[in-house]
Structures are given as C-alpha cells and as structure tokens.
Amino acid sequence: MNQARGIDHITLCVENLDAAEFLFTEILGFEVIWSARDVGSDKSSMDTVVVQRGTAKVALMQGRDKVMKSQISEFIEKYGQGVQHFALEVDDIDAVSREWEAHGVKFSGPVKEGRDGFGPLKQRFTYSLFPGSGIFIELTQRQHGDEQAKTFVRSTVESLYKDIERDQASGIEQTIIDYDSFLIPMEKKPLKRAS
C-alpha cells in the first residue's frame, strides 16, 4: 500500500481575507508565503493568502462574486466559514487514485499536473466527504529534491476552481462515495473509556 507522507495543507474559506490574514500572522504566529488576487475565471474568482508556521501550511480563501456567485461565497453560505479541504501528500498519486477508485471513491476531475519554479506538482480532488458537508480531500504529490517545491501554483488553483464552478453550475451535489450503494454501519456504538 502506498503510504501518505502527511497533511500537506489545509484550506479555509473566509469572509474577510484581511481579517483572517491578521489572525494568522499577528496573533497565531504564521508567515505569509504566497498570495494571489482574482484567481479563477471571468464568472467568479477568489483571493488567496497562504500562511505557514514551521511545516504547517494553511490556505485562506475569500470569494469574488462576478457574473455568478463565487464557490467560496457559496461554500460559506451553505456551511459557514471554515475548512474546505485538506491535502494529503502521497508519493504516488496515480497509485493512490487507483486504490481509492477501486474502493468507490469519486474525484471531481482527473490528476492535474502543474509546474512551479522548482518542478512538477500533481493534485487531485475528491467530492465531499459527507452528504450535506462541503469538506473534501485533495491528494498532492510533490517532488522532494534539493530545492523544495513551492506549495501553491496559480494554474492548479485555477483548474480546481473551474472544476468546482462546473459542478456548481450543474447544481449537482456529489459525495466522495455513493453512500446508498455501501452498507455502512450507522448505529452508534458506546465509546470505550480510556484506561
């Protein structure tokens, strides 16, 4: 089995990017490592600031509504401000994709290959983890060489944005698995007391 290296980053949808940046930098001790304005399409877009403390990276995103409502604004309207996705870094994104697909996992698009100043980067995004919840998983595969790849690339952010915009326009709300086709134990089990 292909193991995961760890959580690459977590992405939060926020209503006020300046306030969120202030919170993370001035109060919580993170540093800004990347930012971009108006990422997306001519229909809607977003502004983003990526902050880091040690190896912990958090992407903050605020929507810009144009012809249509931004997916970020729509996310906040439905679920409130908070975590939109977390990225799991793996060594072989194609192998993990195949493993998950064999288990019934559905992705919102194919593996995307981006490139930054240091080399290639692959990403793939699942649909929502739970019915009625917006949170999803991103798979990330990076090159680890002498120079560390930058985490965020505008082109890959834009291509994710377009996938979500497409689903948003179609009005389809999809989940990571087809919950109806799985026999999932739903009854509550008593929690075991730690001894």
Q: Residue numbers of the site for Fe ion (CB under 5 A)?
A: 11, 87, 138
In the complex with Fe ion, the residue whose CB is nearer, 59 or 177, is: 59
Angle formed by the axes of helices 71-79 and 154-170, nearest 10°: 60
In the complex with Fe ion, the residue whose CB is nearer, 11 or 62, is: 11
Question: To the nearest whole angstrom, how small is the minimum distance from the Cβ of residue 125 to Fe ion?
Answer: 8
Question: To the nearest whole angstrom, how small is the minimum distance from the Cβ of residue 120 to Fe ion?
Answer: 16
In the complex with Fe ion, the residue whose CB is nearer, 159 or 175, is: 159
**What SS3 class is residue 187?**
coil
Question: To the nearest whole angstrom, how small is the minimum distance from the Cβ of residue 138 to Fe ion?
Answer: 5
Contact 40, 158 (CB under 8 A): yes
Of the candidates 84, 61, 91, the residue with the CA atom closest to the CA atom of residue 158:
61
In the complex with Fe ion, the residue whose CB is nearer, 82 or 186, is: 82
Question: To the nearest whole angstrom, how small is the minimum distance from the Cβ of residue 11 to Fe ion?
Answer: 5
Beta-ladder partners of 39: 46
Residue 128 has, within 13 A of its CA and on its CB side, a CA count of 18
